[in-house]
Each structure stands twice: as C-alpha cells, then as structure tokens.
Amino acid sequence: MSTNMPSDVQETSYLDAIFAALRGAGQKLDNARGWLTSAEATSASAWRLQALAAARGAQGEARAYVKELEGRLAQLGPGAELPPPLDVLPERLEAIRKDLDATEQRILSIASAAATQPLGQA
C-alpha cells in the first residue's frame, strides 16, 4: 500500500500487516509514555530534553502505524461492514487516536514546563 510503511510491517499477508500495524502503534505509544515518565521524573534539564525528544520520536512512529492501519482498513470498506475479527478495529483505532492525542498534550505540557526552567547556571 504505502512506500512509507513502518519497517516492521511486512507484506506477508494483508491481515498480518493490519495486525502488525496495530501492534506497532501500541508498542510505540507505550515507548512514548515510558520516555515521558522519564522526562517527568528527572530534574536534569538535559536528560529531560533527551527523553522528550525520544518520546516525540516514538509518538511520531506510532502515528505512522496508525496512518498505515487507517489506509488498510479503508481499503476493506466501512467499519460497520468489516468481518470479524476486523470489526473491532475501528473502535480500537479510535482508542489509539485518543491515546496519541493525550500523549501529545503530555509532551506539550512537559516541553512547556521545560522551557520555563533555566538550563543551568553561569
């Protein structure tokens, strides 16, 4: 489908690729949350910025998986017409989108707090 597909979504089968994209999105979202927890826990601004950058990267990768999943599901038809076990995916996809949005807000909040703190002493 896409030439910009995340590297671990292989074209072994269409269904395998759909579930790999779903799994990849969840894993990358978990990674982003882990980095955000690290960013919140550290008092060193340099470490906070590195953790924040890693969180942004993981969140971007999760969004790429979501985009891939959306495209593949759209090719199969409207969500209401999807056969089992695919019929639950639109609901799962919406939950992942909400998690991505919440993670993005958390990233922005941490970045904003980091921007108001001094980087060090002269």
User: Tell me: the pLDDT tens digits for 1-34?
Assistant: 444 555 554 456 888 888 899 999 999 999 999 9
User: Tell me: the pLDDT tens digits for 27-85?
Assistant: 999 999 999 999 999 888 889 999 999 999 999 999 999 999 999 888 888 877 888 88
Task: Indicate the pTM of the whole model.
Answer: 0.80
List all residues 6 or more positions away from 75 whose beta carbon is below 8 Å from its beta carbon.
Answer: 1
Contact 16, 10 (CB under 8 A): yes
Q: For residue 118, what pLDDT band results from cuts at 50, 70 and 90?
A: low
